[in-house]
Amino acid sequence: MKFNKVKGTEDYYPEEKSIQQQIFSTLRTIANRYNFNEVETPALETLGLLTAKGGEEISSQIFTLDKRGKEELGLRFDLTVPITRMFVAKQLELPKPAKWFGLSRMWRYERPQKGRLREFYQFSAEIFGTDSKYAVAETLQLLIDMLQSLGLTKKDFIIKVNNRQFLEGVLDCLDCDFEQTVKVIDKYKKMSGQEFLDELKQAYVKEQQATTILQLLQLQDTPAKMFQEVFKKVNYTNSKKSTKGVNELMDILELLPESFVELDFSIARGLAYYTGTVFEVYDRKGKFRAIAGGGQYDELTALLGGRKTPAVGFGLGYSTLRLLLEEKGLLPQPQTAPEYAVIVMTGYTVSLMTFVQQLREKYSVYVDLKERKPKKQLDYASSIGAQKAIFYGTEEQATGIFTVKDLKTGEEKKVKKEELLT
Amino acid sequence: MKFNKVKGTEDYYPEEKSIQQQIFSTLRTIANRYNFNEVETPALETLGLLTAKGGEEISSQIFTLDKRGKEELGLRFDLTVPITRMFVAKQLELPKPAKWFGLSRMWRYERPQKGRLREFYQFSAEIFGTDSKYAVAETLQLLIDMLQSLGLTKKDFIIKVNNRQFLEGVLDCLDCDFEQTVKVIDKYKKMSGQEFLDELKQAYVKEQQATTILQLLQLQDTPAKMFQEVFKKVNYTNSKKSTKGVNELMDILELLPESFVELDFSIARGLAYYTGTVFEVYDRKGKFRAIAGGGQYDELTALLGGRKTPAVGFGLGYSTLRLLLEEKGLLPQPQTAPEYAVIVMTGYTVSLMTFVQQLREKYSVYVDLKERKPKKQLDYASSIGAQKAIFYGTEEQATGIFTVKDLKTGEEKKVKKEELLT
């Protein structure tokens, strides 16, 4: 009987895994330069934790495990919640801020589609213990640097920034319920204007206010002018929250290169735990889902039983990132081919094994493992992309002089053993 | 409410994750030198696959997921079964042999104890498409090289080798049921002699035969002498299977350094899919569980719906390996501290951000994110182990000359910006 992989999961064959490892390696290197340290949380968590602050939609997407004994377990659906649990567990002894990142798989039970799997990789960076605007700015700078290190430019992606406090103040002024309205705003990009207005109506927003909200979300200009436009319609300066949000946004935007970051009032973030500045990264053409998203979440530590601690972070999904890199021709070359293939002329001996072992102190080496004729060994070496072949027989063993064949050019030359190994 | 991690799972904080990453990096590097390419399988598999050839014990240990729709899913309990599924799916188009490795988490529902978790990491190397003894020898050589690269020597570990065909032939000669008897032999190391004899009796082995088996398992000598001793009690040369097994073992042992490998007739391997040579790696003191184990499994591809293809591989558990490295004082130093801490003297500006970004092209850099006074920034820099501090203020910005303080020695010196950045 033949078995298939589970729908919405991925098998990584060597080429694909090599591409992924190279991209991961870049993300890790840049995160380390920013002094973010890697952590890892279990795949399994208690249902209590997973449902503590996910919102309804997420709760229905949790893969839960068959109950054995008293434990109710599920698979994590993001990294922020379990990383926050880890922070809370050692909150008192850790130096603050704690700058951590994770790079692991997570799971969501949903209908698989392009760039959306049920088991997928996410990079996640989190800073605990500061509400400074500089922490938000550095987080965004990290994101920019990571994407640039992969070859993407300002022509390829844009970070859209907003602030939930600002939004809350504006909605207060418009006499709208924040929780309900923000859920609709979060879906704005996926709807037509009319659909959006209809959904707002269902969230008990009056027609005139709904029109005003739609106009605000459509604004595109410099931050200063956008806030002026808002002010013309809503006197948000009466709201402390809004004023705080605006000041924070202006401070952050000032520190970051304009060409990478823009203000967008339609960014609201679906996950319920965000409290301050929020952001999402999109490809410039708007072809794919958001590549990354995050923001400040100042109440999650307290909700998970710790002391209230401000935090900021983001998640970056590997699937969409890979799609964008592919479209831009920026995927790294898979590295799966060995540098040398040793062609076995006279059977396996201790001396052959020793020679190969020495060669392997420096190079990736394939040695025939099927006891094939030399011709077949050369064919195989070519099929796996080996760069060079070394012939090993009685004569070579005796003289210490080897024929090395370049499998790309066909060129052959004699090389002394010592030269090969140094 | 405070949430705990799930029993039998591990949180990796930065220090522990850094240790693990360095060990993983060594394993990956050596595997690549042997031209094994990394692959990765999903965590989720169908129950059909997972129970296809696990044996009863494993089946009861599978973490199964709540059924939604028609799918019956579970978490993988090893890497060999899903990697074999991946091989079967592309068997016809792949060059043979395929040399793959995996390095991921897996899950077994069992009672957590020291060195035995319910969620744990395993390295797994597999070769598909050859039944050559050289493939087995190379697999063992890879294992030796990986452990040596981590600093372990022949004084620290030993590979114990046996062959299931040989064992089957001998048990045939003794008129014992192979399947039943081999299960008892697999538990031999965990029992007293009397317990072992009692268990054999329960597997319908007669008293005299049981005594003979016990004597065989206790043999310790050179391979040649051990086979002589077996021959004195059981004329295994009448069995084709045994003879084949003996020849294979002798060929393999000849190619490998004696000091790392020894014959041990009590090695049987619990998992049901092994068919030929089998092996386990133990610390010399016998203090921990097996560090690694594997062997030839020639029927698994056919069982999973592919063409019958010989295969060999092993799994190496991270938990036990880490315990042994710790005991031997061989754990790598955690690398979590930044090279530089930039001490912010006059607030965050674009010019500061640009300077830090330039520094980060080469170094790991921490910058205060809590808007603290310089003294507090220095304290924090020391608390996270930063090597050097750089003071950044208006003067430094204007002159391009920075004071760099070595936080270990307290020594201070003036360094030009260009020197810092090149």
Model confidence pLDDT, tens digit, residues B294-333: 999 999 999 999 999 999 999 999 999 999 999 999 999 9
Res. B252: pLDDT tops 70 = yes
Query: B interface mutation test: which of A134, A252, A304 has the most B CBs within 10 A?
Result: A134
Q: Does A370 touch chain B (CB under 8 A)?
A: yes
From the list B17, B360, B369, the residue facing A38 with the nearest CB is B17
Question: Which chain A residues are closer than 8 Å to B383 by Cβ?
Answer: 95
Cβ contact, residue pair A37, B6, below 8 Å:
no
Min Cα–Cα distance to chain B from A102, Å: 10
Query: Tens digits of per-residue pLDDT, A102-122?
Result: 999 999 998 777 667 999 999
* Residue A119 to residue A337: CA distance in whole angstroms: 28
Report the DSSP beta bridge partners of residue A157.
A283
Residue type, position A32, single letter: N
The CA radius of gyration of chain B, in Å to the nearest whole number, is 28
pLDDT (mean) for B16-37: 98
pLDDT at B206: 94
From the list A41, A305, A360, the residue facing B11 with the nearest CB is A41
Q: Does B244 touch chain A (CB under 8 A)?
A: no
pLDDT (mean) for B340-352: 94
pLDDT at A112: 72
Cβ contact, residue pair A384, B95, below 8 Å:
yes
Of A212, A162, A203, A208, nearest to A181 (Cα)? A203
Question: Which chain A residues are closer than 8 Å to B349 by Cβ?
Answer: 255
* Residue B420 to residue B402: CA distance in whole angstroms: 9
Min Cα–Cα distance to chain B from A156, Å: 21
Task: Return the H-helix or E-strand segment holding A244.
Answer: helix A240-255
pLDDT (mean) for A276-296: 95
Question: Which chain A residues are closer than 8 Å to B3 by Cβ?
Answer: 45-46, 48-49, 52, 85, 88, 304-305
Q: Does A401 touch chain B (CB under 8 A)?
A: no
Query: B interface mutation test: which of A1, A7, A10, A13 has the most B CBs within 10 A?
Result: A13
Q: Range(s) for CATH 3.30.930.10 in chain A?
A: 14-327
Q: Does A366 touch chain B (CB under 8 A)?
A: yes
From the list B35, B129, B353, the residue facing A255 with the nearest CB is B353
Q: Does B293 touch chain A (CB under 8 A)?
A: no
From the list A6, A133, A254, the residue facing B44 with the nearest CB is A6
Cβ contact, residue pair B348, A134, below 8 Å:
yes
Q: Which two tokens stand for residue A208?
A: 């005139």
pLDDT band at A325 (very low <50, low <70, confident <90, very high): very high
CATH, domain A340-421, list 3.40.980.10, 3.40.50.10210, 3.40.50.10490, 3.40.50.800 = 3.40.50.800
Q: Does B141 touch chain A (CB under 8 A)?
A: yes
For chain A, the farthest-separated pair of C-alpha atoms sits apart, in whole angstroms, at 93
Nearest Cα residue in chain A from B61: A68
pLDDT (mean) for A7-34: 97
Please give, one letter per residue, the 3-state secondary structure of chain B.
CCCCCCCCCCCECHHHHHHHHHHHHHHHHHHHHCCCEECECCCEEEHHHHCCCCCHHHHHCCCEECCECCECEEECCCCHHHHHHHHHHCCCCCCCCEEEEEEEEEECCCCCECCECCEEEEEEEEEECCCCHHHHHHHHHHHHHHHHHCCCCCCCEEEEEEEHHHHHHHHHHCCCCHHHHHHHHHCHHHCCHHHHHHHHHHCCCCHHHHHHHHHHHHCCCCHHHHHHHHHHHCCHHHCHHHHHHHHHHHHHHHHCCCCCEEECCCCCCCCCCCCCEEEEEEECCCCCCCCEEEEECCCHHHHCCCCCCCEEEEEEEHHHHHHHHHHCCCCCCCCCCCCEEEEECCCCCHHHHHHHHHHCCCCCEEECCCCCCHHHHHHHHHHCCCCEEEEECHHHHHHCEEEEEECCCCCEEEEEHHHHHC
From the list B14, B86, B349, the residue facing A39 with the nearest CB is B14
Query: Tens digits of per-residue pLDDT, A378-405?
Result: 999 999 999 999 999 999 999 999 999 9
The mean pLDDT of chain B is: 94
Interface of A with B in 68-97 (CB under 8 A): 68, 71, 73, 75, 85-86, 88-90, 95-97
- Under the phi-then-psi rule, with left for phi > 0, alpha for psi from -120 to 50, and beta for the rest, what region is A385? left
Query: Tens digits of per-residue pLDDT, B81-122?
Result: 999 999 999 999 999 999 999 999 999 998 777 667 999 999
| Cis previous bond, B97, omega within 30 | yes
pLDDT (mean) for B185-204: 93
Kindly report the number of other CB atoms within 10 A of residue B317's CB atom. Answer: 23
pLDDT (mean) for B42-61: 86
Q: To the nearest 10°, the Cα dihedral for A128, A130, A135, A140?
A: 40
Res. B268: pLDDT tops 70 = yes
Q: What's the burial of A2, exposed, middle or buried (CB within 10 Å: 0-12/13-18/19+)?
A: exposed
Q: Does A21 touch chain B (CB under 8 A)?
A: yes
- Strands A73-75 and A365-367, bridge-based pairing: unpaired
Query: A interface mutation test: which of B35, B51, B99, B101 has the most A CBs within 10 A?
Result: B35
From the list A46, A66, A141, the residue facing B3 with the nearest CB is A46
Interface of B with A in 302-321 (CB under 8 A): 304-306
Q: Does B5 touch chain A (CB under 8 A)?
A: yes
Between B271 and A359, whose confidence is greater? A359
CB pairs under 8 A between A and B: 252
pLDDT (mean) for A148-177: 96
- DSSP character for A54? S
Between A2 and A316, whose confidence is greater? A316
Question: Which chain B residues are closer than 8 Å to A306 by Cβ?
Answer: 2
User: How much of chain A, in percent, has pLDDT values that exceed 70?
Assistant: 98
Nearest Cα residue in chain B from A360: B33
The CA radius of gyration of chain A, in Å to the nearest whole number, is 28
Angle between helix axes A223-233 and A207-218 (nearest 10 degrees) is: 170
CATH of domain B14-327: 3.30.930.10
pLDDT at B365: 98
Cβ contact, residue pair A42, B10, below 8 Å:
yes
Min Cα–Cα distance to chain A from B80, Å: 14
Cβ contact, residue pair B63, A64, below 8 Å:
no
Res. B132: pLDDT tops 70 = yes
pLDDT at A110: 83
Cβ contact, residue pair B367, A138, below 8 Å:
yes
Residue B66 · residue A65 · CB < 8 Å: yes
User: How much of chain B, in percent, has pLDDT values that exceed 90?
Assistant: 89
Min Cα–Cα distance to chain B from A413, Å: 23
pLDDT at B392: 96
Q: How far is CA A421 from CA A254, A360, B24, in A?
A: 55, 9, 26
From the list B305, B369, B384, the residue facing A1 with the nearest CB is B305
Question: Which chain B residues are closer than 8 Å to A14 by Cβ?
Answer: 37-39, 100
Q: Range(s) for CATH 3.40.50.800 in chain A?
A: 340-421
Question: Which chain A residues are closer than 8 Å to B45 by Cβ?
Answer: 3, 5-6
Q: Which two tokens stand for residue A368?
A: 């025939």
- Full strand arrangement of the beta sheet holding B261-263: B37-38, B98-107, B119-128, B311-317, B292-296, B277-283, B157-163, B261-263
Question: Which chain A residues are closer than 8 Å to B97 by Cβ?
Answer: 369-370
pLDDT band at B56 (very low <50, low <70, confident <90, very high): low
pLDDT band at A270 (very low <50, low <70, confident <90, very high): low
